[in-house]
Amino acid sequence: MECKIDGNKARCTCTYEPCSRKGICCDCIGYHWKKGQFPGCFFPPDIEAGYDRSIERFIKTFQERGKWW
């Protein structure tokens, strides 16, 4: 399967600009999972901007908002 990097980059909500994995979702997810995190695209923009991508923050955000944004 061919990676659709340009399309992925267009939808990527990550605000960390020097990221070498931007648009390469499989690398991004693998990188963050090894660190016990989710990638920025799993969070609403206001939470993602704080760079707390922990699993705990993901759960807290989901519980507080009661829905997938």
State the pLDDT at residue 61. 92
- Each residue's pLDDT tens digit, 30-41: 999 999 999 999
- Each residue's pLDDT tens digit, 15-24: 998 999 999 9
Q: What is the mean pLDDT of residues 36-60?
A: 93
Please give the Cα distance from 25 to 50 (Å, whole number).
Answer: 20
State the pLDDT at residue 22. 93
pTM over 0.95: no
pLDDT exceeds cutoff 80 at 67: no
- CB within 8 A of 54, min separation 6: which ones? 36, 37, 38
Please give the Cα distance from 62 to 23 (Å, whole number).
Answer: 24
Q: What is the mean pLDDT of residues 27-32?
A: 95
